[in-house]
Amino acid sequence: MKRDFKFYIKLFVSCFELSAFTFGGGYVIVSLMRKKFVNKLGWLEDSEMIDFTAMAQSSPGAIAVNAAFLIGFKLAGALGAAITVLATILPPLIILYTVSFGYEAFRDNTVVQSVFLGMRAGVAAVIADVVISMAQSVFKNKAFVSVGIAVSAFVAVAVFSVSVIIIIPVCGFLGFLLYSKKDEEVGKQ
């Protein structure tokens, strides 16, 4: 493809649209990125997009931003990466900044408070739903180590108020010790 002005505009608009109109967060946006850049525009190979998704998921931060960064860099270097990242973070920046004004203005309104209070029970249900689904997939294999890590992490934060920033590196290191050894053994067989 030609990297002219039209190409950069197209790149920007594609990412902007995906971020502005996709509800449901990272995983949904990434699957739509695949549709757009692989199937519709044909700018990327499917195997490349699969690699990008794996890399984006393995890195910290928002998966959609990481994926946008990799796509932009692959297509047009540093300038491309800057364009795709900016296009992905601009819609939530604009929308949420506007909403935060509305929140300031209407938070003392009784009806708005009532609606928010109702949605709070709904949000608790949405989080519970996600936790149940994630727990099912972790506990499914009857891997006692995984169950132990999940329960310990919960108790450490909820009961003993241990900082999340301590738990994440510790569990990552634990995984490194437990599972990279296993891989080696598998490799030897």
Cα distances (angstroms) measured from residue 101 to each of 92, 97, 107, 110: 14, 7, 10, 17
Q: Which is nearer to another protein, 38 or 157 (by Cβ)?
A: 157
Residue selected from 8, 10, 22, 41 as contacting another protein according to rule CB under 8 A: 22
Among 71, 77, 79, residue whose Cα is nearest residue 36: 71
> Of 3-11, 31-39, 167-175, which part binds another protein (CB under 8 A)?
167-175
Q: Which is nearer to another protein, 38 or 146 (by Cβ)?
A: 146
Sign of the alpha-carbon torsion through 177, 168, 61, 28: positive
Residue selected from 2, 47, 54, 188 as contacting another protein according to rule CB under 8 A: 54
Residues 67-126 that bind another protein (CB under 8 A): 69-70, 73, 85, 88-89, 91-93, 95-97, 99-101, 103-104, 107, 110-111, 113-126
Angstrom distance (rounded) from CA 142 to CA 139:
5
Residue selected from 132, 185, 188, 189 as contacting another protein according to rule CB under 8 A: 132
Residue 88 near residue 68, CB atoms below 8 Å:
yes
Residue 85 near residue 71, CB atoms below 8 Å:
no
Residues 29-48 that bind another protein (CB under 8 A): 29
**3-class secondary structure per residue, 31-48:** HHHHHHHHHHCCCCCHHH
Residue selected from 6, 21, 45, 77 as contacting another protein according to rule CB under 8 A: 21
Q: Which is nearer to another protein, 5 or 144 (by Cβ)?
A: 144
Residue selected from 7, 10, 38, 51 as contacting another protein according to rule CB under 8 A: 51
63 binds another protein (CB under 8 A): yes
15 binds another protein (CB under 8 A): no
DSSP code at position 108: T
Angstrom distance (rounded) from CA 29 to CA 89:
12
- Token pair recorded at residue 131: 């936790």
> Of 1-9, 36-44, 141-149, which part binds another protein (CB under 8 A)?
141-149
